[in-house]
Amino acid sequence: MKLTLSICTHNHLAALKQTLTGLHDLHPPQGSWELLIVDNASPDGTGAWLAQGGWQRLDIDCRVVQENRLGVAHARNRALAEAKGEYVVFLDDDETPEIDWLVNLEQIIDSYHPAAIGGRIRALLPNSRPDWLTDELLGFLGELDYGPVERALTEISTPIFTGNAVFHRQTILDASGFDGNLGRRGNIQSGVRTQSFTNA
């Protein structure tokens, strides 16, 4: 299998439902793929909803696993361990991808066989952007944009956000995965949905 699309979620059921609804319109890649949802110890009913098959409206291969160690790094490591795909595509549970997102990612993978891909993320604000919300502050809402043209990220100091990122599964496993001491733990959320693009 080429791709595993993984959504790691914690205590964010309403946003997760909206994200899954947004997957309906995705253009599928040519290669085989699956959807893997990792419930990271959610106490808000997410686990029960997933266990009851709330995701089954999607006409794609989907699996649900539980990760009881709290923390997004633990959830992503569980996704790496469970994934069937050669590449693991991470999408946050409060994002809406563009319809050609997976197709474009597949083309980049087939062309370059990279170890990692970072995608553009735009904050979708519920109202008009306030004057005080400068470009520099948008990163705190998860926004990342290196421009409209794809380019190689050659500097180790150049960040990519794992809310829209792809990793060659075995490469990351060989590097011991994500550091469990880092990343969000618990229910700290921005309350702002974001949109995922491919070109970064």
**Rounded distance, CA 43 to CA 152, Å?**
40
pLDDT recorded at residue 144? 74
**Rounded distance, CA 118 to CA 199, Å?**
8
End-to-end CA distance of the chain: 25
Number of domains in the chain: 1
Q: DSSP class of residue 8?
A: E
Q: Is the pLDDT reported for residue 1 higher than 60? A: yes
Q: Work out the number of other CB atoms within 10 angstroms of the CB of residue 75.
A: 26
pLDDT recorded at residue 200? 41
Could you tell me the pTM of the whole model?
A: 0.85
Range among 15-29, 63-77, 183-197 with highest mean pLDDT value: 63-77
Residue-range definition of the domain harbouring residue 177 = 3-196
Helix (H) / strand (E) containing 46? helix 46-51
The domain that holds 72 is classified in CATH as 3.90.550.10
Q: Is the pLDDT reported for residue 199 higher than 50? A: no
Alpha carbon 186 to its chain centroid, in Å, reads: 17
pLDDT, tens digit (0-9, with 9 covering 90-100), for 11-28: 999 999 989 988 888 999
